[in-house]
A and B are shown apart, each in its own frame.
Chain A
Amino acid sequence: MSIPDLQSQATPHPGRRQALLLVLGLIAAASLLFALVTGSVTLDWQALWRGEDTQQRLILELRLARALNAFTCGGLLALAGALLQVLLRNPLADPYILGVSGGASVGALLAILAGLGGVWMTGSAFAGAMLSIFLVFVLAHERRGSWTPTRLLLTGVVIAAGWGALISFILVTSPDTHLRGMLFWLMGDLSQSGASLSGVVVLAAGLLLSLPIARDLNVLVRGDLRASALGVPLQTLRLQIYGLSALLTATAVTFAGNVGFVGLIIPHFMRLLGAHDHRILLPACVLAGGSLVIIADTLARTLLAPQQLPVGIVTALIGVPVFLYLLHRNSAR
């Protein structure tokens, strides 16, 4: 199915709206397969099927775990991005805009500096993210207890800038031996993360919790007053979106660092394909974001093998031209 076909089907006719999700599901399956068969060792499927070769099975399991991590990371970020763009009513919003990743980064860098790894680093990054979420949440409140998107955005951006300064401070004062690990973490890196079931659980829970409010998002995206006039409970909904997107981002950042671009571009990419309705857009973002990061990560570990690239570089290198092409094609219509 070509892209224009999908676009003309942006109507609410039953059956048609699932076409995009079906195509994206197939793409996700194909990218998973691509990740499994790509690498320095060529897999012998017959041997695997017979279960004789343990080395081959180990390689398959490693690749599968990493691909699932990549999918989870991409899905979390794209879903968080779509939610935050509605919350802030700002097309430029991405999962990192409110400083969640800054807090996580400071936590992770401090752990690296202290020579800690594994669970300690993950825990430290997650604690940093949670601290940032809490700070923004408390400081963005106005006296009457209400929020406005502008105030939330400004508070988040300022907190993010503060974290940015701290990150720079840690980087310039750290010994050279730690620098490479820190930079990789900051640029988004899936090579360090082990199999992480918690990410999958958070992604599934995030999607399940956001689908019931997806139609409310369709209304909220058209303005606060209009949403209230149509019976949407504004403050409750905003809190739900903030909590969900913050948790999704914190989880993604904790186990993959800052994988840029996915959370900003995938929601727009899906909208350009005609997924305007959040009931379609949210699952579409999960599938497309996951696929993009699987492909990017597979390329990141093979392009310059044996050297590995931070996956964030590759997501941007793939995403930027594709997105610019789509944008250009849409405006040319």
Chain B
Amino acid sequence: MTLLEAHGLGITIGGKTVCEDLSLRIGAGQAWGMLGQNGIGKTTLLLTLAGLRPPDCGEIRLKGKPLAQCDRPEVARDIGVVLQDNRELFPSTALETALIGRHPYLKRWQWEDRADLDKALDALRAMDLAGMAQRDVGTLSGGEHQRLQIATLLTQDPALSLLDEPINHLDLRHQIRTLEILSRRLSSPGRALLMVLHDINLAARFCDHILLVCGDGIVRAGPRDEVLTLENLNALYGYPLRQVEVEGRVVFVPG
């Protein structure tokens, strides 16, 4: 089943072309990793795929229906987005922030019920934040706050998760743990994920499809083993990499 598809997508921002005539098909069960240099337009592409920014040309379809024609609350039940830099300016407990993920599901006058609360508490527990449910978000560290963003997404529980650098600020153990939790969600039917990463090896380990945003409108997208080649990566980062094999797994290191 195809969750999200793009046809002939063209995006320019600030005079720079992010992609031209990009076609993409994100199917259920797939994990996509997006790689590229700073400022190349990864976030712009992610926001466009989320329907938060109109493309310059082309069309995006969510479950076969043009995204531009979808009802936004309806989209929010299917697509969950984790953005970068989301410090909160007003006091809120971690639990209250996580519960925001239930917003698209509630009717106008409906309050969160026990099931919503349990979902939020489970998400906080999964992200190692159980003891901080009542803490004010302003007192959380950068990594804790990032985990709270993921917990909010888990509470939202969308079919397609779009994450902009989800493991930013996280320590090694929480990086792996977070990616494992996100991958595990894919075993439920009708789920997919696309995330911007800066670690090639983590992308190779947790994603089965890769999207390389190369600049000048060039985007390479496809199955991991076809796209994640030494030649492509050298061109992507403009820096020589080396490919080594560790215990049967291919690893890329800066040359």
Number of A-B residue pairs having CB atoms within 8 Å of each other in the complex: 83
Complex: A296 Cα to B214 Cα, angstroms: 64
B74:A10 contact, CB within 8 angstroms:
no
Name the contact of B134 in the complex, choosing from A11, A222, A228 (C-beta under 8 A): A11
Complex: A215 Cα to B116 Cα, angstroms: 15
A321 beta carbon closer than 8 Å to chain B: no
Complex: A90 Cα to B89 Cα, angstroms: 8
Name the contact of B72 in the complex, choosing from A89, A231, A279 (C-beta under 8 A): A231
B93 beta carbon closer than 8 Å to chain A: yes
Complex: A301 Cα to B92 Cα, angstroms: 39
Complex: A271 Cα to B90 Cα, angstroms: 8
Q: Write the nearest CB–CB distance from A4 to chain B, whole angstroms.
A: 12
Complex: A16 Cα to B67 Cα, angstroms: 40
Cβ < 8 Å to A, chain B residues 81-129: 81, 83, 86, 88-93, 95-97, 99-101, 103-104, 106, 108-109, 111-112, 117
A225:B47 contact, CB within 8 angstroms:
yes
B76:A231 contact, CB within 8 angstroms:
yes
Q: Give chain A residues whose Cβ lies under 8 Å from the Cβ of B73.
A: 231
B50 beta carbon closer than 8 Å to chain A: yes
B96:A230 contact, CB within 8 angstroms:
no
B202 beta carbon closer than 8 Å to chain A: no
Complex: A225 Cα to B80 Cα, angstroms: 12
Name the contact of B86 in the complex, choosing from A10, A218, A226 (C-beta under 8 A): A226
Q: Write the nearest CB–CB distance from A52 to chain B, whole angstroms.
A: 49
Interface residues on chain B, size class: 35 or more
Complex: A89 Cα to B156 Cα, angstroms: 23
Complex: A271 Cα to B101 Cα, angstroms: 21
B100:A219 contact, CB within 8 angstroms:
yes
Q: Write the nearest CB–CB distance from B42 to chain A, whole angstroms.
A: 15
Complex: A51 Cα to B79 Cα, angstroms: 67
B52 beta carbon closer than 8 Å to chain A: yes
Complex: A221 Cα to B103 Cα, angstroms: 13
B76:A230 contact, CB within 8 angstroms:
yes
Q: Give chain B residues whose Cβ lies under 8 Å from the Cβ of A231.
A: 72-77, 103-104
Q: Give chain B residues whose Cβ lies under 8 Å from the Cβ of A11.
A: 93, 95, 134
Q: Give chain A residues whose Cβ lies under 8 Å from the Cβ of B108.
A: 212
Q: Write the nearest CB–CB distance from B177 to chain A, whole angstroms.
A: 24
Complex: A8 Cα to B111 Cα, angstroms: 19
Q: Write the nearest CB–CB distance from B210 to chain A, whole angstroms.
A: 24
Complex: A225 Cα to B47 Cα, angstroms: 9
Q: Write the nearest CB–CB distance from A303 to chain B, whole angstroms.
A: 34
Complex: A232 Cα to B71 Cα, angstroms: 10
A14 beta carbon closer than 8 Å to chain B: yes
Q: Give chain B residues whose Cβ lies under 8 Å from the Cβ of A89.
A: 89
A222:B93 contact, CB within 8 angstroms:
no
Name the contact of B90 in the complex, choosing from A8, A13, A85, A226 (C-beta under 8 A): A85
Q: Give chain B residues whose Cβ lies under 8 Å from the Cβ of A8.
A: 134
B72:A12 contact, CB within 8 angstroms:
no
Complex: A272 Cα to B52 Cα, angstroms: 33
A117 beta carbon closer than 8 Å to chain B: no
Q: With A225-B47, A231-B75 as known contacts, state yes or no: A276 contacts B91, CB within 8 Å.
A: yes
A230:B112 contact, CB within 8 angstroms:
no
B97:A222 contact, CB within 8 angstroms:
yes
Q: Give chain B residues whose Cβ lies under 8 Å from the Cβ of A219.
A: 100, 103
A243 beta carbon closer than 8 Å to chain B: no
A233:B96 contact, CB within 8 angstroms:
no
Cβ < 8 Å to B, chain A residues 66-86: 85
Complex: A185 Cα to B169 Cα, angstroms: 53
Q: Write the nearest CB–CB distance from A237 to chain B, whole angstroms.
A: 11
Complex: A279 Cα to B112 Cα, angstroms: 12
Q: Write the nearest CB–CB distance from B118 to chain A, whole angstroms.
A: 12
Give 3 closest A-B pairs by Cβ, nearest first: A231-B76, A231-B73, A229-B81
Given contacts A11-B93, A218-B100, A231-B73, 10 further A-B contacts (CB under 8 A): A12-B95, A12-B112, A219-B103, A222-B86, A222-B97, A225-B81, A231-B76, A231-B104, A271-B90, A279-B111
Where the two chains meet, the residues of A that have a C-beta atom closer than 8 Å to any C-beta of B are 8, 10-14, 85, 89-91, 212, 215, 218-219, 221-223, 225-226, 228-233, 271-272, 276-277, 279
Q: Can you list 29 A-B pairs with a CB-CB distance of less than 8 A?
A: A10-B93, A10-B96, A11-B95, A12-B95, A89-B89, A91-B89, A91-B90, A215-B103, A215-B106, A218-B96, A219-B100, A221-B89, A222-B92, A222-B100, A225-B52, A226-B81, A226-B83, A228-B72, A229-B81, A230-B76, A230-B100, A231-B72, A231-B74, A231-B75, A231-B76, A231-B103, A231-B104, A276-B91, A276-B93
